[in-house]
Amino acid sequence: MNLLWLLLMLVDQIIPPPLLSSNSLIVRCFDHISAKYHGLQAIGVLYLSYAAFTMFSPMSKTAYQDALDYLYSHIDYSIERSYRYSAEVFELQRVIDLLGTLGDPHAQIKAFHIAGTKGKGSVSALIASVLQEAGFKTGLYTSPHLSRLNERIMINGEPITDKDFVELVEVVKPSVESIPGLTVFEILTAMAFTYFAEQGVEYAAVEVGLGGRLDATNVL
């Protein structure tokens, strides 16, 4: 039993903490294995179970975290407050150029562009819900997120998957690296439009970010 716990502690250094909660798959597997097997046999079964778990996992947590790290390596004006609202900082041409290198995906979808002081996110969600109920394949782009960044880009009420998010970052990366000064929101906006176009979205509800005439969503 002590050897099993030692192995589980080693696994803990590899698997992200959320997967090792008291109700997690790996812990439940441990409980089952420790009750049925003993000694070296139990260690072997646990090791093979872990190997299968990692082999058939739908998305490497490392790949997803790398994608997030790449995105957040760019400046985020939703956090950085030492800026002056001007064309020197919020330069719409950057987004136009970025989307141009990606084939102008925003021009391939019909969009409801939601701006205002309060209630933008709620109105965006309501519009997306109505469109979806009407039978349209509907995208929703909002900010900020509540739990995971994936929530900002949704289709028919489902957030973009980790796998699609990682692939999308790889798609836009060459274009992003060719245009200096892009912000997190500008890149995410381009990613959302690209994803919606790739997935055949018919309508999208798009919430502005910081707002104003130089907001990245004003390419619509």
Do the Cβ atoms of 190 and 99 come closer than 8 Å?
Answer: yes
DSSP state of 204: E
**Cβ atoms within 10 Å, residue 93:** 11
Res. 101: pLDDT tops 80 = yes
Res. 114: pLDDT tops 90 = yes
User: In which element (H, E) is residue 93 found?
Assistant: helix 92-101
36, two tokens: 């049925």
Q: Which CATH architecture has domain 62-219?
A: 3-Layer(aba) Sandwich (3.40)
71, two tokens: 């995105």
Domain layout of the chain by residue ranges: 2-57, 62-219
pTM of the model: 0.70
pLDDT tens digit sequence for 152-203: 999 999 999 999 999 999 999 999 999 998 999 999 999 999 999 999 999 9
Res. 42: pLDDT tops 50 = yes
